[in-house]
Amino acid sequence: MLLGPNTGLGHTSVVFMIEAQIAHVIRCLRAMEERDVEAVEVRPEVQRAFNDELQRQLQGTVWNSGGCQSWYIDKTGRNTTIWPRFTWQFLRRARDFDPGDYTFRSRVAPPEPAGVPA
């Protein structure tokens, strides 16, 4: 998913965000190829920490404060739309690919056809 949660901008080009995300996806694909795996997923605790950090950064910003209602804020009060920092900070984070932040799932061999000896 590109332009997913908290990658929207109210102040600059989303093309920059898309390009940074594509570069990160390519790093993921290369890591998958090196490990000969079929899937890679962010570890839940890493994702939770990242999301918690984003929500802290959004506190006090024009996007979250002032008592106004906006489409940026969901019914639970979370802003899952806007990136709260500078785009160069997003690029820096997207450039970092730490394999330890991910779970890699190995390829599963297809089952042997029934009735055919191995």
Long-range contact set of residues 44-47: C-beta below 8 Å, sequence gap at least 24: 46/101, 46/102
Tens-place pLDDT, residues 48-69: 999 999 999 999 888 888 777 7
- The residue type of 66 is G
**pLDDT score for 61:** 87
**pLDDT score for 37:** 95
Angle at which helix 14-35 crosses helix 87-95, to 10 degrees, equals: 10
**pLDDT score for 45:** 98
Q: Which CA distances in Å does 48 have to 2, 44, 92?
A: 19, 6, 19
- The residue type of 75 is K
Tens-place pLDDT, residues 18-52: 999 999 999 999 999 999 999 999 999 999 999 99
Q: What confidence category does residue 1 fall into, taking pLDDT thresholds of 50, 70 and 90?
A: confident
